Amino acid sequence: MRIIILTALLVSLHVSLIAKDYNVLDYGAKGDGVTKDTKAVQLAIDTAAKNGGGKVIIPAGKKVVIGTIFLKDFITLHIENGAVLLGSPNIEDYSDKTHKNMYKNEPHMDRCLIYANEVKSIAIEGYGTIDGNGHPNNFNNKTGRPMLIRLMNSKDIHLRDVTIINPAAWTSAFLYCNEINVDGIKIHSRVNHNGDGLDFDGCSNVRVSNSSFNTSDDSICLQASQPNIPCKNIVVTNCTFESKWAGMRIGLLSRGNFESVTVSNCTFSNIDDSGLKIQMNEGGEMKNMVFSNLIMKNVPRPIFMTFAQQKACVDAPEEMYPMKAMHNFIFKNMVIDNSQIDKNSALFITGITGHYIENIILKDIQMTVSGGGTEKDAQKNDIKEYTLDVLDGWWPEFHLVGTLPSYGVYARHVKGLYLENIHLKTVSNDKRSPIIFNDVIDAEVHNIFTNRKRVSEKEIIKN
């Protein structure tokens, strides 16, 4: 009998030592979709952390309502298939101790649902759903619109397989984090404004793959809000993008440097603003980026690049930033079908007078546009510069410029521009030039075609 009891005790001890699953129902959660289970979920997280880490489970078939929760070292938040982690509809359930949004004039987005600061080796995973419950009848600019996820100063982060829907503001903000792996997720953020998908601010060694985005703002955004913390070593591959604003935005919030970014094997469709929106504004340096094997359909400005001055950061100094450098970009192997949208769908690349974007390669690009540019459009020469007076305190957006006198490529204030094997097609007649260079130094153009006919040197306007 003693042997049996001793054996049972040893087995029990062994199980307790290896048991790393913490089901929130065991810590008091009701999971009925009504009861606030924040304390129970946090207790499960805290208990797991005290035991060295583990998997906190949101079980299948349950809808667990929470306000702000705080992740800790070695915690995996696992939302099982068929489970929903649902944000509370009341702003009072969201902590004000979750840092802040780094953009100016947007304190209504300071709070968030899932938060961590200075943690290591954390994961949010599972085939279940995180629902921010961010409908306008729950959250607006007056009440505050909490982000869904904000992770700061952390490393070894995994976001896998989950479906994330209905944030009241951004879906996520990763600030000053290192080693981030995002794989197989789905983000749908259309119920409220500013529904960014993944925002990486001052992050390094980031991999995003096999994911889909349908967003009311930029699907993926790279930022650098601190002058001494770069955004670098970013890989995005095998993703699909649909957005009411940009598919990918790089910059705008750009006090720090950006470098070593690759985007490949992705599709962009039904984008309202731009496919690749690349903007250096706040004194950092941007360099060394490759974009390849991309398909775009119904995407105005498939490539939109600006080099200008503007203050976007909430911590911006009083004085305006200097302009450093923006250089070394390759765009290749792209198929663009803009036959079903309006005439404002050219590739648009512009610095400002005295400040050039440098060393750009556009190669092996096939683009279909609707055409319809008029003689008046073709003669347009009063295209505004993105200077401080034109920007008037806001961002360098396309609407400040309006219809361009080119239907293919319009480049201004660029040094070192190489175009090779560019094929353009217009559905209807277009009176504009296929390519215009304005203050472009050291340009090379080879094998440019429009409607299957080679473009002659005289058809390329150089001002």
- Tens of pLDDT, residue by residue over 282-331, are 999 999 999 999 999 999 999 999 999 999 999 999 999 999 999 999 99
- DSSP 3-state assignment of 409? strand
**pLDDT, tens only, 116-154:** 999 999 999 999 999 999 999 999 999 999 999 999 999
How would residue 458 be classed by pLDDT, with cut points 50, 70 and 90?
Answer: confident
Rounded Cα distance between 424 and 367, Å, is: 5
Q: CB under 8 Å to 243, separation ≥6 — which residues?
A: 213, 214, 215, 216, 217, 218, 219, 270, 271, 272, 273
Written as six digits, the tokens of 287 are 């360099």
Mean pLDDT of the chain, nearest integer: 95
Convert 298-308 to b/e letters by CB count within 10 Å (16 or more is b): bbbbbbbbbbb
Domain 24-462 -> CATH class = mainly beta
Rounded Cα distance between 297 and 215, Å, is: 16
Residue 19 confidence (pLDDT): 47
Count the neighbouring beta carbons within 10 Å of the beta carbon of residue 272: 15
Q: How remote is the C-alpha of 64 from its chain's centroid?
A: 28
Residue 22 confidence (pLDDT): 98
Rounded Cα distance between 34 and 28, Å, is: 14
Rounded Cα distance between 114 and 145, Å, is: 14
pTM: 0.95
Q: Name residue 237's beta-bridge partners.
A: 209, 264
The H or E element containing residue 109 is none
Least confident of 8-22, 68-82, 269-283: 8-22
**pLDDT, tens only, 157-199:** 999 999 999 999 999 999 999 999 999 999 999 999 999 999 9
In degrees rounded to 5, what are phi and psi of residue 71? -80, 155
CA distances from 70 to 22, 147, 177, 393 (A): 15, 14, 16, 36
**pLDDT, tens only, 338-396:** 999 999 999 999 999 999 999 999 999 999 999 999 999 999 999 999 999 999 989 99
How would residue 35 be classed by pLDDT, with cut points 50, 70 and 90?
Answer: very high
Q: List alpha helices for 19-78, DSSP H.
A: 38-50
How would residue 222 be classed by pLDDT, with cut points 50, 70 and 90?
Answer: very high
In degrees rounded to 5, what are phi and psi of residue 53? 110, 175
